[in-house]
Structures are given as C-alpha cells and as structure tokens.
Amino acid sequence: MRRTVAVVGGGCSGVLVTRELLRSGEEDHVVLIEPGELGGGVAYGNAQPWHLLNSRAGAMSADPDDPSHFVRWSGAAPAEFRPRREYGRYLREVFDEAVAAHPGRVDVRRTRASRIEPTADGGTVTLDDGAVVRADHIVLAVGGPVTAKQPFGHEHYIDDPWVPGVLEALPTDRPVLLVGTGLTAVDVALTLTADDRRTAPVVAISRRGMLPLTHTVDAAPPAEPDLDDCATLRDVVRAVRSAAGEAVDWRPIVDGMRPYLDKLWTALTREEQEAFLRHLARTWECHRHRMAPVVAARVMALREAGLLEIRRGGVPAWPGLANYAAVVNCAGPGKLPGSAGPLVGDLLDEGLVRLSPHDLGLDIDPAGRLVAADGRVHERLWLIGPLRRGAQWETTAVPEIRAQAHRLAADLRPRPALAGVA
Ligand SMILES: Cc1cc2nc3c(=O)[nH]c(=O)nc-3n(C[C@H](O)[C@H](O)[C@H](O)COP(=O)(O)OP(=O)(O)OC[C@H]3O[C@@H](n4cnc5c(N)ncnc54)[C@H](O)[C@@H]3O)c2cc1C
C-alpha cells in the first residue's frame, strides 16, 4: 500500500530526507511543508556573496553514496570553500532532480505547519492555510532552536540579523555592538563592512571573547586520537590535548574525532556533559567549526583597520550602550523550551515530545523517533537535524544530516513479517 510521509520543514534536512525517501525503493508519497525557499533555511537562504561555507566543498555532497557530487556540480576543488548561496542552489537542484525522477510522488505545500497530532497509525499536520495533511509517518525537520532574545534595553535591538536588509539599514558612522563572537558575529561583521563605507567600528563581545579558529588552505586527512583507554571526560581531554600537542597541526586531530563524538557524548555521565557544556564547549566549537581562510584574512584586515573589535566580558550597561547605533543578537542557539518555535512549543506543552538532556533539543530513540513526556517512543514521528542535539552531539552539519536522512529513509521501510509469526 502506498504510504504518505509528511516532512515538516524544507531546509537542508527536509530536502535531503525527501530525496532519500524518494530513492529508498518504496513508493511513498511525500508531502513537504515549507513556507520559504527550499534548501534555504538560516544557513543557505539569506546568505550574501561574502558568506562562505565553513566546510570544504569535498565534504558537502548531498549524496552519502557519492561523496564528490557537490565538487562535480560546482566545479570546485575539493579543498575550496564555496559561497553558501551557491550551496542553497545546489540543494534545490538536487531536490528538483529527485522530484523529476519520481514523478507524482512529491507534493510541496508553501505554508507553515501549525499543529501536529501524532496517532498510532501516523498522524495529522494542520497547515496555516487550514488544510490538514494525513500521514502514515511525520518527519520534523524545522531546524534548530532560535537564539535567546535579550534586548538589553536598547531601542534598536536586532534580534534576527538574517532578516533581509536589517544590517544594511544601519548608519555606517556609528559603532554597532554584536553580542557574540562566533560564526554568526563574523557573518554580521562582514555584511556591516562589505561596501567599505563604514567608518565606525563593529564591536563584538562575548564572555570569553573567542573567535572561531581558521582552516588551513590545504586540507590534511583526519587523524584519530587514541581514546581506547579513556573512561572519563578528563581522560578524553587529556588524550586529545596530548595528541594535538604532538601533531604537526591540531586540526586533523579535531577532525578525526568527528565520527566518534556522538558515542563520546552519550558515554559521558550527566555531570560530565554539564561540565563539558560549562567549561569546554565554547573552546571546542571554536576549534571544530572554523572560518574559511579567506574569511579569516578579511577578519584580520578589519581588526587591523580598527573596524572590528573583539572584546571579552559582559554587555555594557546603560548609558555606555547608548554609544551604539544598534545591538545585534549574534548569540548561539538558545535552550528549549524558550527557544522552541510555536509548533515545537505546543508539542512540548502537550507532553507529546520531551526535552533532550540539558534542554538542547528534543529527545529521540537511537533511530531518531521522538519520545513523549511519558517515555513512550512514537513509532511514526521522527526528528532530523539540529534539534537532535542533546540526545546526540554532532547533528548540525551536512555530513551528519545526510547520514541521518539516509538512515531515516531506510528505517521507514516496512519490515517484512517473520515467517511463522502470526
Ligand atoms: C550560518 C550557518 C552556516 C552554516 N555553514 C555550514 C557549512 O559550511 N557546512 C556544514 O556542513 N554545515 C553548515 N551549517 C549547518 C547546517 O547546514 C545547518 O544546520 C542545516 O542547514 C540545518 O538544516 P535544517 O533544514 O535542519 O534547518 P534550517 O536550515 O533551519 O531549515 C528549517 C526549515 O524549516 C522551516 N520551518 C520551520 N518551522 C516550520 C513550520 N512550522 N512549518 C513548516 N516549515 C517550517 C523553515 O522555514 C526552514 O526552511 C551552517 C549553519 C548556519 C546557521
């Protein structure tokens, strides 16, 4: 029997899981619900030409069975860092090709989902336009938590720097304060200084004042540190520091840990996870999510020209804050439930899903099925992408998302009945 799978959200995760469902060998019908541009999302939707991928082209294939797919499509060298906007185009083309190869199997609804009601045999998704989609399986692909709002009492507070035009409208002769010094702050600083008209500095501030580190121009193959004898977080940190200290360059060691990060994260005790989040996560993220060399060179030039200042500490109190034309929220993802959108917020309120450890996302079983507040696993309600954080660690980048999409489509295949079992 032909089943219907509803995919809620058509960013990178929604596009990749739809593609995998189409090619999984089943004849499932997919209803993809996305109000915006397919394959866009926060990462690839509103990116400007100076916003580059922070991964090399060779890592960005949409196809787990064909690692060079993006390299061939873009004509890039595997070690290159391509524009994020181009990657959005790539995802749309990959999607269009998959749809064309499976005519009549995908229905795209250009609206938001406002409510999900899981049932024993699937569930329903109610759309903003009033339509109700009945599905045998529902995949939640709505992206990650939003950043926590913290206006600091400034009259010109920009909560979402990705809204088109908000940064370009700021005066160039007054300083702008960015709260956060991670990759979002770097993106925002590049936009605020893109046309060389800026005369007043962009000031980025965070508790530690740490910028992301930089990729090398040439790629080096990942090198796994030896973690066999590690029983605790302390052991892991010691082993990694020692391997990185002995290596010619620390980057291959960091990259070599990537396939093991989920296993390491889930093997930690709650207390160790908490300690990691409090003391090490920011440093880890700076090493793990690095700037492309071209971007790092631009950041350095801006700092040398006095147009970008990186500061360590808290946001200044009023009246110091009045010196800034605007305060821009560049903090990372917030915690749930505060940073959940209305759809996920309602699911949480109704006890249909529950928070993952440390409130970083939503709880799932090892296959990605959502878990209700009472611990029951929903057989037909799935999660893909950044909201898996907490239950997993490494769940935001394309290589992990394409692997999740592949496995999810495989797990959705009906299992053959066992011979002799009634
Ligand atoms: C700035 C930035 C740069 C990045 N660069 C890289 C990189 O270089 N390499 C890499 O590997 N990874 C990178 N990533 C990480 C990764 O690619 C993203 O995390 C990934 O795009 C997540 O995709 P997603 O579809 O899960 O979420 P999103 O991209 O956030 O998409 C979610 C989609 O769901 C839709 N949606 C939300 N709510 C609803 C609703 N109620 N109904 C219907 N639709 C809804 C939204 O409109 C959106 O399109 C980057 C991430 C960011 C933010």
| Domains with residue ranges and CATH for the chain | 4-145+334-411 (3.50.50.60), 157-213+290-329 (3.50.50.60), 233-288 (no CATH)
User: What is the rounded distance in angstroms from the CA atom of residue 311 to the CA atom of residue 141?
Assistant: 36
What pTM does this model have?
A: 0.95
Judge whether residue 18 has pLDDT over 60.
yes
Q: Average pLDDT in the 257-262 region? A: 92
For ligand 1, the distance from its centroid to the CA atom of residue 264, given in whole angstroms, is 25
Q: How far is the CA of 383 from the centre of ligand 1 (A)?
A: 13
Give percent above pLDDT 90 in the chain.
Answer: 88
Per-residue confidence (pLDDT) for residue 419, from 0 to 100: 46
- How far is the centre of ligand 1, averaged over its atoms, from the C-alpha of 242 (Å)? 35
**Residue of minimum CA distance from atom 21 in ligand 1:** 12
Q: For atom 43 of ligand 1, which residue has the closest CA?
A: 112
User: Which of 70-79, 223-232, 293-302 is the least confident region?
Assistant: 223-232
> How far does the centroid of ligand 1 lie from the alpha carbon of residue 395, in Å?
11
Q: Is the CB of 61 under 6 A from ligand 1?
A: no
* Mean pLDDT (the chain, rounded): 94
Whether ligand 1 lies within 6 angstroms of the CB of 14 is answered as yes
In three state form, how does the secondary structure of the chain look? CCCEEEEECCCHHHHHHHHHHHCCCCCCEEEEECCCCCCCHHHHHCCCCCCECCCCHHHCCCCCCCCCHHHHHHCCCCCCCCEHHHHHHHHHHHHHHHHHHCCCCEEEECCCEEEEEEECCEEEEEECCCCEEEECEEEECCCCCCECCCCCCCCCEECCCCCCCCCCCCCCCCCEEEECCCHHHHHHHHHHCCCCCCCCCEEEEECCCCCCCECCCCCCCCCCCCCCCCCCHHHHHHHHHHHHHHCCCCHHHHHHHHHHHHHHHHHCCHHHHHHHHHHHHHHHHHHHCCECHHHHHHHHHHHHCCCEEEEECCCCCCCHHHHCCEEEECCCECCCCCCCCHHHHHHHHCCCCCECHHHCCECECCCCEEECCCCCEEEEEEECCHHHECCECCCCCHHHHHHHHHHHHHHCCCCCCCCCCC
Considering only CA atoms, which of 173, 172, 180, 148 is closest in space to residue 327? 180
pLDDT class of 168 with cuts at 50, 70, 90: very high
CA 213 to centroid of ligand 1, rounded, Å: 22
- For the Cβ of 35 lying below 6 angstroms from any atom of ligand 1, the answer is yes
